[in-house]
Amino acid sequence: MIRTILAGSLLMAAALLFTGQPAKAEWLCSANQCVWVNYDVSEPDYAVAWGPPVRPSCFWKQGFLGRWKMICP
């Protein structure tokens, strides 16, 4: 009984590991705005540490003093 539960748990973990892998996505940046895209792009160094947006409509915009802000309309 315990072996059956353990084997089932391992199979479920493996299934989640392989199907739960997110698609490659990165920030695509222009001179003063970055948007989230679902394909591999050459991401600028300053955007590498940014995680995915909190909502699909969010993007990063550079302000007047050069600081980047996440905008979520």
C-alpha to C-alpha distances, 47 to 18, 39, 53, 64, 65, nearest whole angstrom:
27, 15, 12, 18, 17
- 36 lies in a domain? yes
- 1 lies in a domain? no
- 10 lies in a domain? no
Query: Are residues 47 and 57 in contact, defined by beta-carbon separation less than 8 angstroms?
Result: no
pTM above 0.75, yes or no: no
Residue-wise pLDDT tens digits, 3-60? 443 334 444 544 444 445 555 789 999 989 999 998 888 888 889 889 889 998 999 9
Amino acid at 57: S
- 68 lies in a domain? yes
Domain that holds residue 47: 22-73
Please report the pLDDT score of residue 35 as a whole number.
94
Please report the pLDDT score of residue 12 as a whole number.
53
Please report the pLDDT score of residue 6 as a whole number.
35
For residue 55, report the phi and psi dihedrals to the nearest 5 degrees. Answer: -140, 155
Query: Are residues 64 and 56 in contact, defined by beta-carbon separation less than 8 angstroms?
Result: no
Number of folded domains that form the chain: 1
